[in-house]
Amino acid sequence: MSRQLLESQLSAPLPQAPELVLVTDLDGTLLGGATEERRSFYRWLAQQRERVLHVFCTGRDLASIARVLQEDEPIGLAAPHLVISDVGCTVACGCSLAPVPLAVDPIEARWQGVEARLLPLLKGQPGLTEQPLHSERRLAYYVDPEHFDHGLIPQLEAHGVDCLMSDNRYLDLLPAGVNKGSTLMALLEWLEVDRSTVVTAGDTLNDLAMFETGLKGVMVANAEAGLLEHLPRLPSVYLASSEGCSGIAEGLRHFGFDHLWD
């Protein structure tokens, strides 16, 4: 019933029995690597659309994702089946990019009243510049690490948020308990898929929550140093020797999905 409800809120059908559920970050991961390597991987994804259920899992907002799809259409990047955006705070149909109420409404409930409590604390803080995003369930800032007061983070988290720093330059304030991993796990429950078919891929600290789920994961070679530090405690995560799309493909072969290239 949960899968039927999810599909009723989408504008395009999902693969009925996917052999692989591929969950990819965008910047540095699916959008990473040489153009020809990306073109080849995007072509493979398009050919396997009925066998591979593809999910974007990104810090970008929906408007930014729409721009990426338009800009990269010439080299073959197609819309995914589903989107997790805003570092886990939004779930949308991959085709229409329309938010999915089943997934978004519980996150929205956690965010109620939080932003009003946070903004007075954030106003005028040195080392913070607001990112130009269109998101209703998180706050996002660029960080100048030399001037930012890290003592502010526990003050913010006391008001019902989790503070996530990634790539030493991005700060996301998310509803407590909401991240890429938590939202992905909820989505998989609705999809009713075999967890052994799921592979995640990423390159920055905002992908750590995906890797901490225990699902198969691919950390691409260009992963940030802060994420690489966690690798020893992530036994289900494979560190690729290649960057971006080539790293994803390498990881899929490592996990035994070679048959999808036949």
CATH code for the domain in which residue 31 is found: 3.40.50.1000
pLDDT over threshold 70, residue 109: yes
Claim to verify: residue 83 and residue 115 sit in the same structural domain:
no
Residue 52: per-residue pLDDT: 98
Work out the widest C-alpha separation in the chain, in whole angstroms: 57
Claim to verify: residue 97 and residue 16 sit in the same structural domain:
yes
CB-based contacts of 158, cutoff 8 Å, min separation 6: none
Claim to verify: residue 220 and residue 164 sit in the same structural domain:
no
Claim to verify: residue 77 and residue 9 sit in the same structural domain:
yes
What average pLDDT does this structure show over 48-57? Answer: 97
Q: What is the pLDDT of residues 151-175, one digit of tens each?
A: 999 999 999 999 999 888 899 999 9
Beta strand pairing call for 90-93 and 139-143: unpaired
The distance from CA 235 to its chain's CA centroid, rounded to whole angstroms, is: 20
Supply the range of the domain harboring residue 35: 2-107+178-261
pLDDT: which is higher, 244 or 165: 244
Residue found by looking up tokens 């789920």 in the block: 213
Query: d(Cα 61, Cα 76) in Å, to the nearest integer?
Result: 21
Claim to verify: residue 164 and residue 61 sit in the same structural domain:
no
Q: Is 227 left (phi over 0), alpha (psi -120 to 50) or beta?
A: alpha
Query: d(Cα 99, Cα 86) in Å, to the nearest integer?
Result: 12
What average pLDDT does this structure show over 184-207? Answer: 96
200 forms bridges with which residues in the sheet?
23, 217
Sheet containing 139-143: give its strands across: 128-130, 139-143, 170-175, 161-166
Claim to verify: residue 116 and residue 188 sit in the same structural domain:
no
What average pLDDT does this structure show over 142-153? Answer: 91
Handedness of CA 70, 79, 45, 256 (dihedral sign): positive
What average pLDDT does this structure show over 25-34? Answer: 97
Question: In which band, very low, low, confident or very high, does the pLDDT at 1 lie, cut at 50, 70 and 90?
Answer: low
How many domains does the chain contain in total?
Answer: 2
What average pLDDT does this structure show over 146-153? Answer: 90
Final residue belonging to a domain, choices 152, 175, 198: 175
CATH, residue 142: 3.90.1070.10
What average pLDDT does this structure show over 218-244? Answer: 97
